[in-house]
Amino acid sequence: MMAMRKSAADGHFAISETGGQALLEAFREMAEWVDDNLGKLGHLAQEPQLGSSNGANTMKPFVQQVATDQQGFITMLREFRTSIGDAEKGVRDAMTNYQTIDQGSAQTF
C-alpha cells in the first residue's frame, strides 16, 4: 500500500471521484473491522489454558507465539491497519490527480 501511496503522490495514476469514494468506503469498512476485532483478539496474546499435560505445556508457548511474534496474526493485523491508512492517502492523492487532469483537459477546450 505504501507503493500505491507513493505512486499516487508522484502523479503516476488518477482515480475518479466515484471510484475513489468507493475505494475509501471499502478501506473505512476494513479499518473498522480491524479496530473492532483487535480488542476481541487480545486473548490470543495470552498463554492459553490447555491444562497441565506434557502436550499442553508444549503447545502453550507455541500458540501464543503464533499470535504475537513478528509474523504473528495480531502483528500482521496491526500492520494491515497501518497500510489501510497509506492506501486511503494514496486514493485521495489519486483523486486530486484526476481533478487536476480533468481541469487541465477542460481548459484546452
pLDDT per residue as tens digits for the range 29-81:
999 999 999 888 888 888 888 888 998 888 888 888 887 888 888 899 999 99
Domain assignment present for residue 1? The answer is: no
Domain assignment present for residue 103? The answer is: yes
Neighbouring C-alpha atoms within 13 Å toward the C-beta of 54: 0
Domain assignment present for residue 52? The answer is: yes
Domain assignment present for residue 2? The answer is: no
- Domain assignment of residue 70, given as a range: 14-107
Domain assignment present for residue 3? The answer is: no
Domain assignment present for residue 23? The answer is: yes
Domains in the chain: how many in total? Answer: 1
Domain assignment present for residue 18? The answer is: yes
Closest by alpha carbon to 78, among 22, 31, 45?
31
Residue 11 predicted with pLDDT over 90? no
Closest by alpha carbon to 20, among 104, 102, 77?
102
DSSP state of 48: P
- Using pLDDT thresholds of 50, 70 and 90, give the confidence band for residue 93: very high
Instruction: Quote the pLDDT of residue 41.
Output: 84
Residue 1 predicted with pLDDT over 90? no
- 65 Cβ contact partners less than 8 Å away, ≥ 6 residues apart: 72
Residue 108 predicted with pLDDT over 80? no
Domain assignment present for residue 4? The answer is: no
